[in-house]
């Protein structure tokens, strides 16, 4: 088990050494030549900007008016007809 760990450490150091060697500047997406590790570039992006939502026009609240008070109409004759008492 110890030999396997040592072998893994040697392989990891060799890979880092190959990656750190100076070489021609080639775009990572073109592949280039030789042995190396191709990693896409790290892009630094500014943090997102949160903008307040647009102001929405809201119509004014509807005015509520109380209904007019009801009045008691007493019983009475309307021509030849008798009308019982009722609320208007």
Q: How many CA atoms lie within 13 A of 21 on its CB side?
A: 12
| DSSP state letter for 23 | -
At residue 50, the 3 state secondary structure works out as coil
The strand pair at 72-73 and 86-87 is best described as: antiparallel
Residue 54 pLDDT exceeds 70 = yes
56-78 per-position pLDDT tens digit: 888 888 888 888 899 999 999 99
Q: What are phi and psi of 82, to 5 degrees?
A: -90, 125
Q: Which residues pair with 76 in a beta bridge?
A: 83
| Cα distance between the two ends of the chain | 102
Note the pTM of the prediction, 2 decimals: 0.27
């Amino acid at each position: 088990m110890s030999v396997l760990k040592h072998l893994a450490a040697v392989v990891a150091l060799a890979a880092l050494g190959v990656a750190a060697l100076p070489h021609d500047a080639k775009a990572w997406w073109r592949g280039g030549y030789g042995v190396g590790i191709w990693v896409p570039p790290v892009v630094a992006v500014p943090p997102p900007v949160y903008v307040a939502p647009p102001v929405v026009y809201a119509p004014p609240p509807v005015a509520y008016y109380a209904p007019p008070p009801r009045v008691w109409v007493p019983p009475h004759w309307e021509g030849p007809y008798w009308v019982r008492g009722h609320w208007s």
